């Protein structure tokens, strides 16, 4: 898996050959480092400035996609003119679009019930965060001591099991995080496809992501000849064909994009 900065001349030629580029970035772990609590993942002013510059260039459509809720994502990034996709793309705002997946909101009552049960059953687990974002429920246990991991996992599976067996819900897992979401055919890949269709001119996509939940986005982008970039140490089980080490290197890549 080549390092993106090492092969930038060939990648930049590919992007320059297209009339427009759809640049999509994950937030946590991609634009910002992974931190102890989600609210402390603050975007640097340099990265914010670079996103703003790119958004104002005719060559680019710029989007940020995240497991965060749409209002949370918009407030954390705070750059006008971007496309924002929250809850892994179940809700999208930008390009004149105000989208919420038609089936996702039907499960909000079930997610509230699951959140209530998990908060009750895991009340003795330190530093666990149960974040009900209406369309997706996220359980963060990055700061939880390792010896609680089995308890958290067992309770999570047991609580969600009836909803999984009935076909209502599914569980996806990332780095020290689990997401409980409606069992519908949707994810970051489908959201990126929808954003691309909304552009009207099929721009070449480039997607930066760091976690297992970004994998279907990598596939969707590469299926149409775009560039998928995994952020982190070399990982054998990613489908992305390019890699960067950290959000600092993402910032370097964004700088190079402003020079196209």
Residues 112 and 95 in one domain: no
Residues 125 and 95 in one domain: no
Residues 252 and 194 in one domain: yes
Residues 86 and 35 in one domain: yes
| Residue 82 pLDDT greater than 80, yes or no | yes
Domain interval for residue 149:
104-182
Residues 116 and 156 in one domain: yes
Q: Are 205 and 22 in contact (CB under 8 A)?
A: yes
Residues 36 and 165 in one domain: no
Poorest-pLDDT segment among 11-15, 33-37, 218-222: 33-37
Burial code (b: 16+ CB inside 10 Å, e: under 16) for 3-31 equals ebeeebeebeeebeebebbbbbbbbbbbb
Q: pLDDT, tens digit, for every residue of 148-196?
A: 988 999 999 999 999 999 999 999 887 778 999 999 889 999 999 999 9
Residue 207 lies in a domain: yes
Residue 190 lies in a domain: yes
**Tokens (6 digits) for 135:** 């369309």
Residues in Cβ contact with 116 at an 8 Å cutoff, skipping those fewer than 6 apart = none
Residue 199 lies in a domain: yes
Residues 89 and 147 in one domain: no
Residues 91 and 149 in one domain: no
% of the chain at pLDDT higher than 90: 80
| Residue 103 pLDDT greater than 90, yes or no | no
Q: Are 232 and 49 in contact (CB under 8 A)?
A: no
Report the CATH number that the domain containing residue 240 is assigned in CATH: 3.40.50.1000
| Residue 236 pLDDT greater than 80, yes or no | no
- Residue range 5-18: mean pLDDT, rounded: 97
Residue 245 lies in a domain: yes
Choose the final residue of a domain: 167, 182, 197.
182
**Tokens (6 digits) for 164:** 């999984």
Q: Cα 103 from chain centroid?
A: 20
Residues 93 and 202 in one domain: yes
| Residue 234 pLDDT greater than 80, yes or no | no
Choose the final residue of a domain: 164, 182, 200.
182
Number of domains in the chain: 2
Residues 143 and 250 in one domain: no
Task: Return phi, psi of residue 78, to 5°.
Answer: 55, 45
Assessment of whether the complete model's pTM goes beyond 0.85: yes
Q: pLDDT, tens digit, for every residue of 85-100?
A: 999 999 999 988 889 9
Residue 66 lies in a domain: yes
Q: pLDDT, tens digit, for every residue of 116-133?
A: 999 999 999 999 999 999
Residues 170 and 235 in one domain: no
Residue 56 lies in a domain: yes
Q: Which of 84, 108, 109, 114 is nearest to 192 (CA)?
A: 84
Element (H, E) at 100: strand 97-100
Residue 7 lies in a domain: no
- The stretches of the chain forming alpha helices (DSSP H) are 8-16, 45-55, 70-77, 108-121, 149-165, 188-199, 215-223, 247-258
Residue 12 lies in a domain: no
Choose the final residue of a domain: 133, 158, 182.
182
Residues 194 and 220 in one domain: yes
How far apart, in whole angstroms, are the C-alpha atoms of residue 93 and residue 82? 9
| Residue 239 pLDDT greater than 90, yes or no | yes
Report the CATH number that the domain containing residue 123 is assigned in CATH: 3.30.70.1020
């Amino acid at each position: 898996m080549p390092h993106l900065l090492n092969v930038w001349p060939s990648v930049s030629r590919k992007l320059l050959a297209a009339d427009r580029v759809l640049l999509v970035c994950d937030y946590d772990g991609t634009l910002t480092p992974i931190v102890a609590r989600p609210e402390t993942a603050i975007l640097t002013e340099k990265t914010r400035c670079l996103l703003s510059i790119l958004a104002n260039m005719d060559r680019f459509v710029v989007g940020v996609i995240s497991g965060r809720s749409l209002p949370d994502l918009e407030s954390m990034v705070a750059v006008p003119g971007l496309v924002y996709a929250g809850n892994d793309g179940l809700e999208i705002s930008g390009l004149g679009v105000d989208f919420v997946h038609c089936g996702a909101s039907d499960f909000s009552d079930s997610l509230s019930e699951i959140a209530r049960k998990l908060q009750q059953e895991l009340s003795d687990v330190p530093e666990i965060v149960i974040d009900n974002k209406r369309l997706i429920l996220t359980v963060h246990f990055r700061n939880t001591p390792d010896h609680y991991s089995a308890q958290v996992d067992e309770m999570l599976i047991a609580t969600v099991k009836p909803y999984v067996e009935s076909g209502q819900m599914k569980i996806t897992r990332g780095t020290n995080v689990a997401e409980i979401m409606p069992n519908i055919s949707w994810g970051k890949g489908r959201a990126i496809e929808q954003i691309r269709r909304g552009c009207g001119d099929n721009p070449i996509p480039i997607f930066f992501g760091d976690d297992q939940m970004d994998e279907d986005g990598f596939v969707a982008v590469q299926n149409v000849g775009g560039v998928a970039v995994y952020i982190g140490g070399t990982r054998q089980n990613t489908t992305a064909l390019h890699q960067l080490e950290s959000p600092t290197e993402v910032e370097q890549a964004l700088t190079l994009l402003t020079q196209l």
